[in-house]
Structure 1
């Protein structure tokens, strides 16, 4: 069985479901089940004040109006601020 889930992070903000996980050499971003290509970042959610941006080797989610300063995720680490 695959062990991809070990390096998978899920962030729920209001009714928005964000999944981040490594695939090959990249980080995959899914918002409510739809993949957001890395080259489409930064991504601003159309109804909520949530932004997803590349940062260094990984991806950061910002949602300060929802009390979330930053969630950072790369292939090896994750941080919540």
Structure 2
């Protein structure tokens, strides 16, 4: 199964919220950083700006109940796709 990583925080997903060709976002929300796929992460610059704001605010989970007990920020950030770092 292919894994897709959030362009802002690197959280892994089983299915791309941007669709199979990365061109049809579903405008859902990332459970970790709260980015709205297709709105806040359209470009590398917008993804970076959102990430910086999220990290400056403490990098807390958008849906805290979904945060794994062993979650670590830095390894997750390392999963951000190269064009969006």
Q: Which has the higher contact order (CA 8 A, sep 6+)?
A: 2
Which structure has greater strand proportion? 1
Q: TM-score, normalised by structure 2?
A: 0.29
Q: TM-score, normalised by structure 1?
A: 0.29
Which structure has greater helix proportion? 2
